């Protein structure tokens, strides 16, 4: 069993059983020093993400 992830905004543990809309954010960038693309995965409570993203941006969750 994997431990529950930590939210990248509030640094609290995400209880995946209670927050079914918790989100894995995949961040991608070009890093010329490493010769290509780099990816990082971060996690967020659904509420923390909604608070920080502009309301004009459509968000959706896949379960």
Q: What is the pLDDT along the chain (63 residues), one digit of tens a residue?
A: 467 899 999 999 999 888 888 888 888 888 777 777 778 889 999 899 889 989 888 876 655
> What's this model's pTM, rounded to 2 decimal places?
0.69
Cα separation, 11 vs 59, whole angstroms: 21
What integer pLDDT is reported at residue 1 of this predicted model?
46
Cα separation, 31 vs 5, whole angstroms: 26
Residues with Cβ < 8 Å from 39, sequence gap 6 or more? 26, 27, 28
What integer pLDDT is reported at residue 38 of this predicted model?
77
Q: How many CB atoms lie within 10 A of CB 52?
A: 9
């Amino acid at each position: 069993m994997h431990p529950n992830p930590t939210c990248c905004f509030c640094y609290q543990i995400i209880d995946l059983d209670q927050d079914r809309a918790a989100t894995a954010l995949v961040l991608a960038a070009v890093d010329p020093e490493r010769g290509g693309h780099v990816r990082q995965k971060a996690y967020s409570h659904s509420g923390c993400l909604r608070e920080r993203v502009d309301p004009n941006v459509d968000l959706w969750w896949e379960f």
